[in-house]
Every structure is written in structure tokens, then in C-alpha cells.
Structure 1
Amino acid sequence: MKNVLEYLERSAARDPDKVAFADVNEEITYAQLLQRAKEIGSALAKRFPVRTPIPIYREKSVDTICLVFGAVYAGCYYVMLDLRHPKARIEQILATLETDVVVTDARQASRLSRMELDVTLLDVEELDAAVDEERLAQIRAAHLDIDPLYGIFTSGSTGKPKGVLIAHRSVIDFIDVFTETFAIDEQAVIGNQAPWDFDVSVKDIYSTICSGATMQIIPKAYFSMPTKLLDFLCEREVTTLIWAVSALCILSTLKGFDYRVPTHLKKVMFSGEIMPMKQLQIWHSVLPEVTYVNLYGPTEITCNCTYHIVCEQDLQRGMLPIGRPFPNERILLLDEDDREIIKPNVKGEICVSGTAVGLGYLNNQEQSDRVFVQNPLNSRWQERIYRTGDIGYLDEEGLLFFSGRRDFQIKHMGHRIELSDIECALTAIDGVARSCCLYEQEHILAFYEGEGERRELLRELKKTLPAFMLPDQFLQMERFPLTKNGKVDRMALKEYWEVNKG
């Protein structure tokens, strides 16, 4: 297989009248999706050279998924733009992509026009064209599986966004293993939570077309309305969730299951942050027959590189393991001198090797050379690895645990401290639902959701943490602010502290 479109064509041939994607307004069958994607692809091929980016500025929807696959039929790679991005960030992304054309629709075009961007807006609703099978065949014949499929922009240490490029080959190798490992088949109904400029959505979209499943596109607004979200999951008979941790916690912390239980669920997979054990226990108590999976992996390595299927024993742990690597990937744990760590409970940097490793950062060779590097353990042939910047360790059973980010490691009172260690200890206390720690102006700040009082929290932490790890301040939050990707918004927490510290 050289192109992800083979997934779509295979599923359309097998079950043309089955619903492939649905949103709150419409649905589309595999046959209809195939036809529409080819029409859009034929139109885009007249405007974009092959192997060039097609920026898409639209809400996620059935129409947008047609545009995504149309971009792929045109031999290009797609880049989803966040509708909440300010003008400066969109300009930075387009400059990196070296394009001044954005594909959008009439509604979003007016928003872009108000930004006064120096771009050409291409209305997707005007991309009607007869399918040019000859041109599409020429594009496919010249296509290589190492060509980019999509680009996702992440934050950069310099303040400029970094564009991660992922090839068809990487997605194919990952999705084949992912769907087989978790038995995702044509009976699955996948409830899409993730924004499409976030790599969790890659698992939703391509697991769907690979297996011939159906994907239900959940409106973003429903994640602020637990009853609507639960009604959607129940009425659409969703069986599979591949969500950010914070999205799952919305239902459990707000006691959504007291209203309604989505009994069709069979698989719940989560990633992006450490899953609070209390929240997982709530989910398990309500839906004990569901398979729960902890997934780990950065954007740069095609979604995930390790997984752990939760068992009864795990529910008694303080923290879940991120598990073992998928069969087509290799995990290296390296110390500060690039020596491999094989002893249990010794922390090192998590590095990844395998076909899922991305192509690097677009037009950013310096950043690419910093983290996409030769395996220091292999001097015999070229073997590229990705240095994640994440810290982990192995337990006695060889299971990998995530310990935190290098940039969340602080030096306080002469000691090196992982903020995630404090978060785990805090979340284990009765009266704390979730926690997040920051280090600002030589103060450890502990933000938490729950009813616990500062004096009691400090008393309990003293039982498990040394004095130099105790938070200097406790800030009780009714609800954590979240980024668009469903993670705790640490910058918003910092701003909250700045306003309230006096």
C-alpha cells in the first residue's frame, strides 16, 4: 500500500452504501465520499502542484472530510488551520508553508477577510469539477509512500510554530497496527473529539476508513454541555472513544454519568496527559466491561508509540504505565550521556525509532537536526530516532512509565524535581479530583479541582513528599482551563496566578 486513499477505495468497494462520516447536520456514505473527494481532488489538482501544502480553514464536518481527501487525491498534503488562531500565527504558518492560498468556505472567508491577510481565499463550495480520472491516475503513478500526507503545527521554543510533516507510509504502518491491536473493525462507531489540527484526529479518521467503520463528528460545544455530549454518544451508539484525557474527565468530574450512561461503549482510549486515577476509577465503576487503553506519543512520531491496556491491578496504582511499544516501533531510554538505561526505576529521555517517525519540521532544518537524530547506540548504519524530551523509567516488569517533561523539571532549593511527581501525590489525596503544578518566581504552585482545604492538603502531602517538594501555594479551581486540544492550559493558569497572587 502506497497511499491512504487505498483505505478509502477498499472500504467503498466493500460497503459503498455504509455511512462513513456523520456530523450533527448530515452524513455521507463511502461511495458518496469517494466520488466527492475525487471531484474536489480534480479541481484542486488544477490549482496546486503535487507535494505542496493545502491549508484548510474550516470547521470540522462532513464537507471538510471530503476536502481533506480531495487534497490527498490532488497529490498534496493538507494542513488544518485553527479557527481561533490570531492573524500573526496564521501568517507565520503560511510563511512556513510558503503559500498564500487558503481553502475555506463563505462563512470562514469573511473572518479571514476581517484579518486583512495577504492571501488568496479559495471557496471549497466553488470546487465543483468533473472527475478527471486520467489526471488523478497520473498523480497516483508518480506518488511515493514517503510523500507527506499532512502537516501539524506545534508550539516552538523560539515562539514560532513548528510544522511536523508525516508521510503516508508512517500513517499506513501505524494505522494497520493500531486497528489490529485494538480490534477496530467495520462494526465500530468512533466518536471524534479531537480538533483536526491535532494528531489524535489522525487515529479517528484513518482507523475509520481503514476498517470500514463509521465516525461520528462531535461538535466542540458539546464538551461544555455534558448532557448534550452524553445524549450524542448514546443516540449515535458510539462504541469507541479515542480522546484527550481532559475530555474524558469532563464527564467524570461533572458527574455526567448520573444523567446517562453510554452503554454502547466498548473501547475508551486516552492520551495527551497523565490520566488521574480517580477519574479512571469513576469510568471503570460505571462501565466495567469497557477496554481502557493508555496511549503515549508525541506528534512527531505519528500519534502514538506505546500503549497499555488497563487491568484490575492498575486501578490500585498511583499512576498508569504508558506500557510497551507498538510492534513496529522501538523505544530507547537514554541517560544524559546517551547510554541506554535498562535498570528499573532509573529515569532517562524517551526516544523513538521506527517507520512511524515523522519527516521532520518543514523549512526548519535547525530544529529538525536537534531532535531527529542518528541513534547514538547504532554506529553501523543510518537509523533516525526522535528525541521526545519526555522523561520516563522502566519498572521491574519492563513497563515504561512517563515521569514528566524535561521542561517541567525544575531545580528548587538545590534539588531537581519533576512537577508531575507532586501532581500525582496531590491527586491521590481525598478531596482532590485533578491537579496541575507550575513553578513561577521560585514558587511551586499547586492548582487543583476539588473540595480539599489547603491545611489538610499540606498535611497529607507531608506524609509522602520531602519538604523541598511541598507546594508554596495552593490554588483551588472550580474547573481547569483547557487548550483547544483538551489539555490543561498551563499558560491560563499562570495568568490566573499573576492576577490573584496579591
Structure 2
Amino acid sequence: MSTPTFTPVIEYLRTSAQEHPDRLAFVAPDDISYSQFYQAVRQRAAHFARHGTQHGDRVAIWLPKCQDYALSLYAAMEIGAVYVPLDGTQPAERARKILDSAEPTVLVTDAAHFRALDGWQRDTLKLVLIVDDVPCDYAPVGNTAIMKLAALQPSVELPPPFAAGVDDLAAILFTSGSTGVPKGVQISYGNLHSFIAWALAEFKMTPQDVFANHAGFHFDLSTFDYFAAAAVGAAVWIVREDEQRDLAALIAGIRRHKVSVWYSVPSALALLAGSGELTSEVTASLRHVLFAGEVFPIRQLQALKSCLPAACALYNLYGPTETNVCLYYHVREDDMARDKPVYIGNTLPGVIAEILDADGQPVSGERAIGELVVSGACVTPGYWRRQEPANYVNHLHGRHATGDLVGIENGFLYYHGRKDRMLKLNGNRIELGEIEAVLGAMPGIAEVAVVAECAGDTQHIVAYYTLRHAGERLGVLDIKSYCSARLPRYMIPRLARQLEELPKNANGKIDYRALEQLTRSTSDTAAMPHADDRNEIVTADA
């Protein structure tokens, strides 16, 4: 396959606005044609530029999933700014950490999220744009204009479309950070092109397709939905946060919009497949079902496959945020006879995958297992204003050490697990150290250690802690309330257990292996503590 000519992803929208002006860019409740949508993008970009936003400046977006979110990120790219998407459901304290790091020129938000920021301010901030029409007066703060979308003047001089280069930044996607501060993965236009160009060739999508945008806009999976759709003039259904795990809403949306392309984490597909509601009538329109972000348990994948039309292509896509998708596997019929998850497959064009042992030496052969190191145009230029020893030099040379252990089976790469202390739950990447940093600052806690509990095909987060003063106790509601105000829901520990002392190794460091053994030994008897057990907590969907 020859390497396609570089096309910045913003150009796809511009082209579809000309070639497919009357086709829907987004479907209900966001019905809008490509020409109307691009005109709105241009208007918003003009307001960003009018308030001093320039090439390389950051435009932060903290909203629930909606058309305004997509419009704002496109408007940032239209003038060469870098969009910074924030999870609309995360606590304000974490959002402030991301905003402090990104130092945006523009913040697009709504009244509820703006109030939650409680006066947050940076010298770089020139415009806060409130997109909803909640009655409230906003006064400028310093040099920052605070404006409601409804009050903006429509007649603003439009800026020239920015001509993005391969190395220009398109986005900064913030992920969990081991120090307690989320880290920003820089995404270049070249990174996005390497994935989207491959996807267009592999999946052969058309203007008649309808994409289900299930992932959050802060999640790298979402870049496929809106950029690939715009490239062919297809429509996108934005699945709202309250619909993402609402079985009735998902089934109704697939049926109503005749969704043909679905891309999500496996857990969402497992929910649908296990419901009994994913009938042949519902799935008749599906042509491509793609999954990524975590291992898909084979029994659940078998259940999904049985619900899909025979002609529907099923793909496992692999890659951390730092590479987006770098490997893929087209699931075959004979894979359904396996008793373990399907392969992560082979590399995309232009991507090189190496398997290295603990000494950094290449290994090969069917039985060899090592860390996957990826090279190529898909690899991020690095982290935003941060140098991490593990990958700083790698990123300078277009390489990324994934921390994933892989091997080769039957000529395909196979995932064996994590090398470090990062895990994924429902596709969300979680650094256990970030949870430790948050709980470690809780009044009354002396030490804390967080581990992952594996139960069958699932993982849960377990926190162990000691108290500063003997005889004190922390209640269930205290810990739940503290975590929920500072961490996304998926990062809240499922269990929290108080110990007299955390186990230590010979170097005086916390012995995580001992804690993992303790977790395994107690999981059968303490997985679901009683309501009056003040030393253990349970959080739903953690």
C-alpha cells in the first residue's frame, strides 16, 4: 500500500462542505448539514481570532458531549490553534489541573462547568465562551472576556483557513499521570493523518455511512468518528454521556439512525450483546464494528459476533494514546473457536513494531515475550511541557515504549498484559499513582497504596491505607466523597481497606506484590462488604 499524500484532518471538513454541502454532518438531535456546520465553525474561529488566539495557542473545551463540542474543536483547528478536550463528567479539581497545564487562550464551557471552576483564571486566558443560555451576568475578569454565545455578533471578519503542516499540533489529550497531575499527550496532524488515511483505505467508507460517536471527545477513539466521517461526507451520531451505558438509548439510536460504523471500547459492545436486545433487525445496518482500549473477553466477543450480520467486518484496533491506532486485527470466523482473546494483529503501513526484553534487546520467535516498542509517523512528538525518562528520548526519535508485554502467535502480535502499574478500565487509561496522590492528600491518611484486583476477565481498583493517628477511623462516605470530588468515576477504588501498616520490601518501599497477594486472598470473602463495614467501600461501575 503506497503512502497517501498528507492531508490535515481539518481539510476533510472543508472539502465535504464543498462536495457534500447538503448532507448531514451530524444527525438528530444535532441535525446540521456540512455547509451549515462549516459556516458555524468559521464564525466561531473568527471570534477566537478576534480575541487574540493564534497558531499554537490552546483552546480548551469543557462541556458535556454535544455538537458545540465538535464545533469548537474544529474552530480551533481552523485558525491553527490546538484543541484541548476535557472530560465533561470529571470533577472540577482535576479539570483545573489540566487547565493549569494547558494554559489556554480560550475556554469553551457552559454555565454549570464555569461555576464549578470557582474563579479559575490564568494570565493566558483571553476568552471564556459560555455556550448555553442560562440566565446569568458575567463580568470580565482581568484581561479575560467572559461572553455568552447568544450575545456574540454574527458579523465578524472571517480569518483565512490555516494550512496545517505535518508537525503542527492539532490536539493535546490529557491522560492519567503517575504524579497525580494528568499529563498531556501532544497529537500532531501527522499523527492523525497516519491513522485516518489508513482507516479510509481499509474500511472504504462512503457518504451513506452513519458513525456512532460513543467515546468521549477527550478520548483518542473519538478522532476516528468525526475525522473519518468528515473525510467521506458521512454523518455522525453523538452519543451523549447519559446514553453511553443506557441500553435502551443505544438500541434506539442504532435503529433510528441506521448506524453502519461503530467504534467503542469492548465493554459497551458487551453490554449490547449481553442484553438480548441486539437483534438482527437492530444490527442490519452495521457494516463495520471496531473495538479498542482494552482486552475483549472472548466469550463476550463470541456473543457479539453472533448478533452481527454475516457481512459485518469486526476489527480489534490497538494503540495507546501516544500512538493512536498502530496495530489492527480483522477478526475471522475461526477466531470464534478460540478460548482466549483475539490478536492485536499487525502494524499499520509505515509503523514498525519491536519486541524488546528487559535489557532492551530484540526478541523473536513464537514463544518470546517482551515489551512492545512502536516507531513511525503515528508516534506522538511527546508530552506537553513534560519530559518522562521512560520515553523522552524515544519520542525525539519517533518511538514509543508502550509498557505492554506482547508475543507472536501464528504470525500475529498477541497482548500478554502490562509491564508497569497502569491499567485500563472500560477503555479509560488509569495511572494508579494518580489515585495514590489524591488519597495521600486526604486529611487523616498517613500512607496509601493502590493495586488492581483481577477477577476473571475484569479488573477492579483496591486502595490500602493507614491513618496518621492510632484509634482514628475513616467512614465509607468520607472516602467516597473525597475521591468523587477529585477523580473521575472510573478511577474511584472499588474497595478501600485500612491496615495497621503497609507491607514494605527490603528497601523500605511499599511491597505491592504483597498487597496484590493480600487482595487475591481476601477477594472471595470481602468482594462485597456489608453496609456497616467502615473499612471497605464499594463504588458502582468503578
1:484-495 mapped onto 2 (5 Å cutoff): none
Looking at secondary structure, tell me which structure has more helix per residue.
1
Listed one character per residue, the Cα deviations across residues 32-54 of structure 1 (whole Å, up to 9, x for unaligned) are 11111111111111221221110
What's the offset of the Cα at 1:83? 2.3
Aligned position for 1:46:
50
264, 268, 271: which is aligned to 1:243? Answer: 264
Matched AA of 1:31: S
CA offsets, 1:324-358, max 9 Å, x none?
01112111111111111111121111111111111
Q: Secondary structure at the match of 1:149?
A: strand
**Deviation at residue 249 of structure 1 after TM alignment:** 1.3
Q: Match for 2:459: what amino acid?
A: C
Q: What is the rounded CA distance, in whole Å, between the counterparts of 1:477 and 1:33 in structure 2?
A: 53
Change in Cα spacing, 1:193 to 1:475, as seen in structure 2 (3 Å) is farther
What residue is the counterpart of 2:19 in the other structure?
A: 14
Check conservation: 1:100, 1:118, Cα contact below 8 A: no
Which residue identity is paired with 2:81? C
1:354 to 376, 389, 392: 376
Contact kept, 8 Å, 1:93 with 1:161, in 2: the verdict is: yes
Partner of 1:136: 160
1:435 aligns with 2:435: no
Unaligned runs of 5+ in 2: 1-5, 132-148, 424-450, 465-493, 495-516
The answer to whether residue 383 in structure 2 is matched with residue 370 in structure 1 is no
Cα distance change, pair 252–363 in 1 and its aligned pair in 2 (3 A): same
Task: Provide the rounded CA distance (Å) in 2 between the counterparts of 1:237 and 1:359.
Answer: 38
Kindly provide the CA deviation profile for residues 298-324 of structure 1, in whole angstroms up to 9, marking residues without a partner as x: 0011x2110101111211121210000
The two structures, once aligned, show a CA RMSD in angstroms of 3.1
Alignment partner, residue 120 of structure 2: 117
Tell me, yes or no, if the aligned pair for 2:407 and 2:416 is still in contact at 8 Å: yes
Residue number among 417, 427, 452 corresponding to 1:404 in the alignment = 417
Distance 1:316 1:408, change over 3 A: farther
**CA 1:403–1:85 in 2, change beyond 3 Å: closer, same or farther?**
same
Aligned match of 2:335 in 314, 322, 327? 314
**1:208-357 superposed matches below 5 A:** 208-257=229-278, 261-289=282-310, 290-301=312-323, 303-317=324-338, 318-357=340-379
TM-score, normalisation: structure 2? 0.72
Given the alignment of the two structures, is residue 94 of structure 1 paired with residue 107 of structure 2, yes or no?
no
Cα pair distance change 1:404/1:42, threshold 3 Å:
same
Count residues with an aligned counterpart: 427
SS at match of 1:79: strand
Q: Which moved more, 1:221-230 or 1:95-104?
A: 95-104
**Offset of residue 187 of structure 1:** 2.2
Indicate how the Cα distance of structure 1 residues 3 and 257 shifts in structure 2: closer, same or farther if over 3 A, else same: closer
| Structure 1 match to 2:437 | none
Whole-Å Cα distance in 1 between the matches of residues 535 and 408 of structure 2?
Answer: 35
Distance 2:527 2:204 in 1: 38
- 2:57–2:105 CA contact under 8 A, matched in 1: no
For 1:195, the equivalent position in structure 2 comes to 216
Q: CA deviation at 1:185?
A: 2.3
Q: 1:177 aligns with which of 171, 174, 198?
A: 198
Q: Kindly state the Cα deviation for residue 184 of structure 1 after the two structures are TM-superposed.
A: 2.1
Matched, 1:498 2:536: yes
SS in structure 2 at match of 1:68: helix
Deviations 1:224-245 (A, max 9, x none): 3212210111111001101111
**1:407-422 counterparts in 2 under 5 A?**
407=420
| Separation in 1, partners of 2:105, 2:15 | 35
Amino acid at match of 1:92: K
Q: Residue type matched to 1:498 in 2?
A: E
Percent identical residues:
29
- How far apart in 2 are the matches of 1:476 and 1:260? 43
Question: Is 1:65 matched up with 2:65?
Answer: no
Give the residue type in structure 1 aligned to 2:220. Answer: D
The answer for unaligned runs of 5 or more in structure 1 is 376-381, 411-418, 428-433, 442-446, 448-467, 480-494
C-alpha spacing 1:26/1:383, structure 2 compared with 1 (3 Å): closer
Matches for 1:445-464 after TM superposition, within 5 Å: none
Compared CA separation, residues 497 and 151, structure 1 to 2 (3 A): farther
Distance 2:525 2:258 in 1: 36
- Whether contact under 8 Å (2:280, 2:309) holds in the other structure is no
Q: Counterpart of 1:490?
A: none
What is the aligned partner in structure 2 of residue 3 from structure 1?
8
Evaluate the alpha carbon distance shift between residue 243 and residue 188 of structure 1 in structure 2; reply closer, same or farther with a 3 A threshold.
Answer: same
